[in-house]
Amino acid sequence: MHISGSGPVDRLPQFLSLVRAELTGLTALTIILKLYREFYISRAKVNILCDNQGMLKKCEHIPFHRLRFHHEKNVDLLLSHRQFSSNVPVTYSWGRGHADKVPWDSIEDLQYQQLSWDEIYNIWVDKMANVEWSTGCPSSTSPGVTPAEKWAVYAIYPEYHKIVGNLSTCLLDVLGYEQTARYIFQNHNFSAAKLKHVNTSSLESFLRQQKIFR
């Protein structure tokens, strides 16, 4: 027997990340497990499998007592995950991702590739995620402050939303946007229409490599 599902990720689409999506699913899973244990008075142990090793390490060791941690990305979800998993005996294990070497259509096809069940589950979840992504799963742009959080910061650019990325980086982006746009328009004779044809993602990658005073 298996239970599967999907849901929205609370972030503006242009700021969506794979880690944010994975943490959202992981947090939802721990809420379900906590409710299950309370309703059935269960003592079952839980093992969470994921192919993102870095995220699992963060979930296992959350330095919530350090102020610097609260400036990093996805703190709201990490704190919520910690809150709901505090009374659940959870262990974490890493599984190798993208282990399918040839095309497949069913679970039986994956078994013929001599994959472990952990690898098969991981591949199946990846397929579900791709389907949801291609169908445009909705996202919530202005999530509220979760019970596990002590505070949250909201921004009004590009629209009203809760900052869930790195706090310092997001504040610089918000506070510097209008001045940067004005500088580009005036000093380089650019219009908003011309800016639409600029490879802004590559430009952003280049600019982030520069020292802050530049």
Spatial distance between the Cα atoms of 75 and 149, rounded to a whole number of angstroms: 8
Helix (H) or strand (E) holding 31: helix 18-40
Q: Does domain 13-134 have CATH number 3.30.420?
A: yes
pTM above 0.75, yes or no: no
Q: Which pLDDT score, from 0 to 100, does residue 78 have?
A: 92
| pLDDT band with cut points at 50, 70 and 90 for residue 142 | low
Spatial distance between the Cα atoms of 202 and 13, rounded to a whole number of angstroms: 18
Of 32, 24, 36, nearest in space to 80 by CA:
24
Q: pLDDT tens across 104-131, in order?
A: 888 888 888 888 888 888 888 888 888 8
Q: How do the domains of the chain map onto residue ranges?
A: 13-134, 166-208
Helix (H) or strand (E) holding 155: strand 154-155
Residues 6+ away with beta carbon under 8 Å from 138: 8
Q: How far is CA 20 from the centre of its chain?
A: 1
Q: Which pLDDT score, from 0 to 100, does residue 141 have?
A: 65
Q: pLDDT tens across 147-180, in order?
A: 888 888 888 777 788 888 888 888 877 777 677 7
- Say if residue 47's pLDDT is above 80: yes
Q: Which pLDDT score, from 0 to 100, does residue 145 have?
A: 87
Spatial distance between the Cα atoms of 23 and 36, rounded to a whole number of angstroms: 20
| pLDDT band with cut points at 50, 70 and 90 for residue 138 | low
Helix (H) or strand (E) holding 93: strand 90-94
